Structure 1
Amino acid sequence: MSIYRSVTWFVKGLREYTKGGYQSASKHFNSSDLDVDIAHRSYMITGANSGIGRFVALTIAKKGGTVHLVCRNKDRGEAAQKDIREQARNENVHLHIVDLSRPAQIVAFTEQFKNSGQTLNVLINNAGVLVNGDQRQVTEDGLETTFATNTLGVHMLTKGLIPVLKNAEDPRVITVSSGGMLVQKLDVKDLQFERMTKFDGTLAYSQTKRQEVVLTSLYAKLYPEIHFSSMHPGWVDTPGVQTSLPQFYEKMKDKLRSEEQGADTVIWLAVSPAATKHGSGLFFQDRTPVSTHLPLAWTKSSPAEEQELISKLDELAQKYTTV
């Protein structure tokens, strides 16, 4: 990662990604965009037991939508489900226990959901992993944890639910990415960070977030019936940031956005008719499509590289889910 990219990104972040950046951007929001009746619509949110995901789930439940929480931890998931049902006074809040770093669990879940006959209008890929430290971690399947959750897991869940989404009215898929992806160029030769001289959890996270943005643009071309978007929530004060980036949190905690501010664009992309007036496959920040590259940063990838990414993911998915 170049010094130029790092400095340019951090300066941009101080101006745009903080709560001050949100307050400035929100002056231009249309206040009526979220005044939508969603009582007849169904939303699935991964990583919904804490942080941005939980706030999104609660907001949608309060608006009357049917909510499917996808969580890894049963106890935390059940606590979130109970709390959201009570606060929203909405019993249509369902819990699914799935570890998104485990391909076989994703396949089993998507097959079960498809066969259940339930509808799904919107999938929100919110769950993510950022390994704090310099130790490369692998799952029980032998996959690097960051890649398994943030890239392969997102890809398999999204593809697995495409048939359900295609049958729904106004189907959408939103992936919560990160502005950190701006410092990374897509690297399809080392998807699981085996060639890093020294593993860096933050860089691995940023690379997977670049992969998510690339995948979003590819899905938009493959599945034109569905509206795809990725987004950056800004720098948000969440439990995940506190534990995964403790030094960053200590330095920036007074400038971080609230969970409500971080969740705003996710909710807007999920419910507002205004969101789908923009083209499919774009990257959003504060309700606005923005560039996926910093100026002069040399982070653009070729169509061949992007196709190689999705081909490798399909191969891995097949490998880890065929008994």
Structure 2
Amino acid sequence: YLFSQRAAWKPALTLNGFLSASKRFVEKDLEVCVAGRTFMITGANSGIGKATAIAIAKRGGIVHMVCRNKDKAEEARADIVKETGNKEIYVHILDLSETKKVWEFAESFKRKYKSLNVLINNAGSIMSQRDVNTEGLEKSFATNVLGVYILTKSLIPLLEKSPDPRVITVSSGGMLVQKLRTGNLQSERGRYDGTMVFAQHKRQQVVMTEQLAKAHTNIHFSVMQPGWVDTPAVANAMPDFHRSMKDSLRTPEQGADTVVWLAISEAATTNPSGRFYQDRKMVSTHLPLAWTHSSALEEQKLMSLLEDLAKTFQPH
């Protein structure tokens, strides 16, 4: 039965799923000028991140691109400025897998800038084999979970001072086949399967969003899944999937649509904070009759483990 549930859920993630869902989109939701509003987007130099940056820049937003590779970031910035005519696009170089550097970046950003209206946690990492960073943390966990947690937590005071603050995290449909597991956060036990590790991290992001929304009620938190999108990251991390699904994949713009909707539309904030979205619609974080539900205790445990780890690497 669960197999048929999964089979029924997957077509919604394809290009056709998007085309079908988009028939109910309200066009005026995105007819918004965001001049003067500030947006930070991680992984903004390609794929969904870049498409999001372009959509926001076109509407007059100030965009802070947070990227790992300076050359690729500068090249993307030039493209965005050229395409949108918006020069208020700024590049920051940060590797989210380097935990201390995430702290340092967030603290220096708060000192330098007086406002941040929207944080978009888009950068992610799928590893083909287990690898650790210079601090001894498993790299994809450091990027996908701990880096996102530290960046978000550290920027909350700045967001809270800014009008209509929002935090959007880009998750993945893969999380629907994962139950939260806090006993093996850094994939030290068992065989390392990069795509399953990634899916577990995406489940953790959903739980993290729900918990942060409860703790910070004046910020609108959301987490979304973009469907199956034709991006460099997918082509590199899952070449077989990319090859076989090529004609059914969404464009980066289609993948970014709900991110942009959550970041700028008034409609998005009429929904409760902390929810999960697909194609501009709140959806369940579990498949029907799924075994993926976790207890409140387990969810709180994740948050306290992240808090303890974050403090370990906080510069004094």
| TM-score normalized with structure 1 length | 0.96
Deviations 1:84-136 (A, max 9, x none): 1121111100011011111111111111111113311000000000113xx21
In 1, Cα distance between equivalents of 2:73 and 2:7: 34
- Choose the corresponding residue for 1:215, options 208, 220, 238: 208
Which has the higher mean CA deviation after the structures are superposed, 311-320 or 162-171?
Answer: 311-320
Asked whether the equivalents of residues 66 and 93 of structure 2 are also in contact (C-alpha less than 8 Å), the reply is yes
Deviations 1:274-295 (A, max 9, x none): 0000000000000000000011
Alignment: residue pair count:
316
Asked whether the equivalents of residues 6 and 183 of structure 1 are also in contact (C-alpha less than 8 Å), the reply is no
Structure 1: which amino acid aligns with 2:86?
A: N
Assess, with a 3 A threshold, how the Cα gap between structure 1 residues 41 and 227 changes in structure 2: closer, same or farther. Answer: same
In 2, Cα distance between equivalents of 1:5 and 1:275: 31
Matches within 5 A, 1:128-277: 128-132=124-128, 135-196=129-190, 198-277=191-270
Q: CA deviation at 1:11?
A: 3.7
Deviations 1:143-163 (A, max 9, x none): 111111000010000001001
**Match for residue 64 of structure 1?**
60
Asked whether the equivalents of residues 104 and 315 of structure 2 are also in contact (C-alpha less than 8 Å), the reply is no
Asked whether the equivalents of residues 178 and 232 of structure 1 are also in contact (C-alpha less than 8 Å), the reply is yes
- Choose the corresponding residue for 2:38, options 34, 42, 60: 42
Assess, with a 3 A threshold, how the Cα gap between structure 1 residues 274 and 193 changes in structure 2: closer, same or farther. Answer: same
- Choose the corresponding residue for 2:18, options 19, 22, 32: 22
**Match for residue 312 of structure 1?**
305
The SS at the match of 2:30 is coil
Structure 2: which amino acid aligns with 1:229?
A: S
- Choose the corresponding residue for 2:5, options 8, 20, 25: 8
Matched, 1:121 2:114: no
The SS at the match of 1:149 is helix
The SS at the match of 1:230 is strand
Asked whether the equivalents of residues 265 and 285 of structure 1 are also in contact (C-alpha less than 8 Å), the reply is yes
Q: CA deviation at 1:297?
A: 1.6
Structure 2: which amino acid aligns with 1:8?
A: Q
Q: CA deviation at 1:9?
A: 2.5
**Match for residue 73 of structure 1?**
69
In 1, Cα distance between equivalents of 2:4 and 2:154: 39
What runs of 5+ residues in structure 1 fail to find an aligned partner?
none
The SS at the match of 1:153 is helix
In 2, Cα distance between equivalents of 1:150 and 1:239: 17
Which has the higher mean CA deviation after the structures are superposed, 223-232 or 115-124?
Answer: 115-124
Asked whether the equivalents of residues 185 and 300 of structure 1 are also in contact (C-alpha less than 8 Å), the reply is yes
Asked whether the equivalents of residues 52 and 259 of structure 2 are also in contact (C-alpha less than 8 Å), the reply is yes
**Match for residue 295 of structure 2?**
302
Structure 2: which amino acid aligns with 1:283?
A: F
In 2, Cα distance between equivalents of 1:156 and 1:5: 35
Asked whether the equivalents of residues 85 and 93 of structure 1 are also in contact (C-alpha less than 8 Å), the reply is yes
What runs of 5+ residues in structure 2 fail to find an aligned partner?
none
In 2, Cα distance between equivalents of 1:283 and 1:30: 19
RMSD, aligned α-carbons: 1.1
- Choose the corresponding residue for 2:280, options 277, 284, 287: 287
Which has the higher mean CA deviation after the structures are superposed, 104-113 or 225-234?
Answer: 104-113
Q: CA deviation at 1:320?
A: 2.1
In 2, Cα distance between equivalents of 1:114 and 1:77: 21
Task: Tell me which stretches of 4 or more aligned residues in structure 1 moved more than 6 Å.
Answer: none
Structure 2: which amino acid aligns with 1:250?
A: R
Structure 2: which amino acid aligns with 1:35?
A: E
In 2, Cα distance between equivalents of 1:12 and 1:172: 28
Task: Calculate percent identity across the aligned residue pairs.
Answer: 55
Asked whether the equivalents of residues 44 and 70 of structure 1 are also in contact (C-alpha less than 8 Å), the reply is yes
Q: CA deviation at 1:140?
A: 1.4
Asked whether the equivalents of residues 5 and 183 of structure 1 are also in contact (C-alpha less than 8 Å), the reply is no
